[in-house]
Amino acid sequence: MALFKKTSAMNLSALLLFMLLIVQPCLSQEAASEKSMVTISGYAPKYVGQTISIMQIEDYFSMKESLLGTATVSEKDSTFSISFYANDIQKVIVRAAKNRSFMYIQPNASYDLFVPDKDPYEAYRPNGNLVELSFFNLDSTDINYKILQFQRWSDEYMSSIYYLKSAKPLEFGKKIEEFKLNAERVYAKDTCSFFKTYVKFSIASLDNIQFIAERNRFEKHDFYIKNAPVSYRNDAYMAYINSFYEKMMPRLSSEANALVYSAVLKSSPALVMRALGTDYTLINLRIREMVMIKMLAEEFYAKDLPQTNIITILDSLSNRCLFAGNTVIAKNILMRLTELTTGGKAPSFALTTLDGSLLTLTSFKGKHLYFHFIDPNSTKCTNEIGPLLQIYERYKDDIQFVTVYPSGEYDAKLMESSINTIPWTKIALEPSDVFWKNYKIETFPQYILIDGYGYVVSAPALGPLPNGQYETIDRLFFSIRKAKKLDEERR
């Protein structure tokens, strides 16, 4: 986000005085009336005819997004306008084609933006680049204005003292405390609770900088977390909670750790909650339930606890937590864990082949499935078909090959040198089909390997050409064939 072009650093004392002068209430508070309208308009000349979307972050653990509003950039004057209801101050994502930006919204506010193309000096990213929005006529009482000013002040102050961290750590700690006191004085009369929470926990994150005079874990809990309300929508608060309670399982005492393990074996969220209650930093029941969900998600990937039991607990919590905000987190975390991940169940599908046959996940029961995703227009994709044909000839009795490509109009010569050379099952799929999203296919070529029971072996999987470690899919296919023969011999 930007209010204006960057200028040279101003004197820090002058900046502090400026901050004291601009502190005012937000135009709208969190306790807004129902159906508060927000309008975001702007100018996006690099995205003419393309879609601008405003996405809400449902929770800061899963980072699941949901659509608030969308518009197409006018071909006439490169403008767009989006209106939607929002009753809370919150951070949102502005998506322009594949690129993305961040801003804050508050109820009953209107925003006028310039959405730029990606920085020409930044490397192109297939999944989109982060771009910086510019605001026009932004009111000084708006949450964006206040956060941008605070960030500027904080960044300039920290850059001026950071050299002390190693050279004079005690003085560095003293300067940090001075900044906290100054910020508290500057914003003492501000009535916007979202902004005050943002400032408090942005400053709290400075306590995570390791130096001699830093507070210990229990002091941080009592000073920042203990008496603060849980702010699900506040990104600074949630970032601090995410960091403070990261990898909670190893932090527990050996007794509590054993109790959690026993509770998970019994698939009991109540017993997990009771076990976590022995940790002082989890005395807040709402935070304890939130951290339980986060911890179970972390342990799911660590695989020290049974994954099926974790899924059972999260499924129960996704239907009913003690606190509604935590129910949203549990539901979204469960969705993330059961998405396309190595070791997880592959998403179901129903695909129609070029010859009209219907393929589902159960069609390949007992046999590994190797998905090959291709763009017929891509030279890189066509270059891999030859080596892939050789691998197919070696392993076609053990592995089921399926090629999927976006449906559309393609040059006949391109089709002749790519799709038409493939002897196995082929599927032309509409680009809008949910299958692409479920299987996270955004670049080509891409491969996914699923076992005979419908579980993901590798996503993305290796291809027929060597990667950076000189590995190909051939070795894994050889192991699968070997294991299959051993299993047949035992029978």
What angle separates helix 285-302 from helix 307-319, to the nearest 10 degrees? Answer: 150
pLDDT at 9: 37
CA distance 104 to 172: 32
DSSP codes joined into one string, 177-193: HHHHHHHHHHTTT---H
Rounded to an integer, what distance in angstroms lies between the CA atom of residue 378 and that of residue 410?
11
Predicted pLDDT of residue 479: 92
SS3 3: coil
Q: What is the full per-residue pLDDT of the chain (491 aa) written as tens digits?
A: 655 433 333 445 544 544 544 555 565 444 444 679 999 999 999 999 999 999 999 999 999 999 999 999 999 999 999 999 999 999 999 999 889 999 999 999 999 999 999 888 887 776 678 999 999 999 999 999 999 999 999 999 999 998 888 888 888 888 888 998 999 999 999 999 999 999 999 998 887 765 555 678 899 999 999 999 999 999 999 999 999 999 999 999 999 999 999 999 999 999 999 999 999 999 999 999 999 999 999 998 787 898 889 999 999 999 999 999 999 999 999 988 877 777 777 888 999 999 999 999 888 878 999 999 999 988 889 999 999 999 999 999 999 999 999 998 888 888 988 899 999 999 999 998 889 988 989 889 999 999 988 889 998 999 999 987 889 999 999 999 998 888 777 76
Contact (Cβ atoms closer than 8 angstroms) between residue 396 and residue 425? no
Among 384, 366, 382, CA closest to 454: 366
Name residue, tokens 């017929």.
376
Q: What is the pLDDT of residue 2?
A: 58
Q: How far apart are CA 356 and CA 335, in angstroms?
A: 32
Strand order in the sheet with 90-96: 65-72, 51-57, 90-96, 99-105
C-beta atoms surrounding 109 within 10 Å: 23
Rounded (10°) CA dihedral 305, 306, 308, 311:
-10
Q: Which helix (H) or strand (E) holds 66?
A: strand 65-72
**Helix, strand or coil, per DSSP, at residue 298:** helix
Contacts of 116 (CB under 8 A, 6+ apart): 46, 131, 132, 133, 134
What is the Cβ-side half-sphere exposure of residue 114, based on CA atoms within 13 angstroms?
A: 12
Those residues whose C-beta lies under 8 Å from the C-beta of residue 198, and which sit 6 or more positions away, are 147, 150, 234, 235, 236, 237
Q: If you write DSSP's letter for every residue of 84-129 in order, what string do you get?
A: EE--S-EEEEEEETTEEEEEEE-TT-EEEEE-----TTSPP-TT--
pLDDT at 412: 87
Given this model, what pLDDT does residue 176 score?
86
- pLDDT value of residue 225: 96
pLDDT given at position 267: 96
| 432 three-class SS | coil
Which residues, at least 6 apart from 18, have a Cβ–Cβ distance to it below 8 Å? 10
Tokens of 88: 């809370």
3-state secondary structure of 360: strand
Residue with tokens 């937590």: 321
pTM higher than 0.85, yes or no? Answer: no
Q: Which tokens in the block code for residue 79?
A: 């403008």
* 240, 224 Cβ separation under 8 angstroms: yes
* % helix, strand, coil for the chain, step of 5: 45, 20, 40
